Structure 1
Amino acid sequence: MKEYIALFFTHSGAIKFQRFSKKNNIDCELMPVPRKLSSNCGVCARFNFDGNINDLINEEIEQIYEIINDAYKLIYEEK
């Protein structure tokens, strides 16, 4: 299972993602954005997911990073 951090444009986007995750049995925790990363709202979702990450992307998500050995690899960015 891979581990990710999603950054959002707004707090409400993060909360909506958490609800979506819970409904779809995805382990998800809201937390402050790590200092290494920037965010508009300051809240991110850390989650584990095995499927296609594109299935989770919506208009609320600013960026998604895969966490690899405590480092962050950008895998999605809203253009």
Structure 2
Amino acid sequence: MKYIVTFYSHFGAIRFKREAPTTWGTIQLMPVPRDLSLSCGTCAVIEVEGTVEFAHQQYHDIEQIVRVTGDGYEVLCHSDK
């Protein structure tokens, strides 16, 4: 599975990468796809075997979490900060 996490700030993206569980595997920071967000411009891409359980309240600067599907994106969580 591939997930994309968008943030309200660049600092939030860096902090997320640093504090995410190591069991999630590799997390890459990259520019946000424009069809997902116009916020800070940095997202985290997580590619794992299987699924990931997100404790959204644990990461305060998250704008949204989406799963990449064959048809585009499935929004798993969206924050109205």
Whether the TM-score (by the shorter chain) exceeds 0.5 is yes
Gaps of 5+ in 2: none
RMSD value over aligned CA atoms? 2.1
For residue 41 of structure 2, what is the aligned residue in structure 1? 42
8, 14, 24: which is aligned to 2:22? 24
The TM-score with structure 2 as length reference comes to 0.79
Deviation >6 Å, runs of 4+: none
For residue 63 of structure 2, what is the aligned residue in structure 1? 62
Gaps of 5+ in 1: none
For residue 52 of structure 1, what is the aligned residue in structure 2? 53
- Aligned counterparts of 1:75 and 1:55: Cα–Cα separation in 2: 10
For residue 32 of structure 2, what is the aligned residue in structure 1? 33
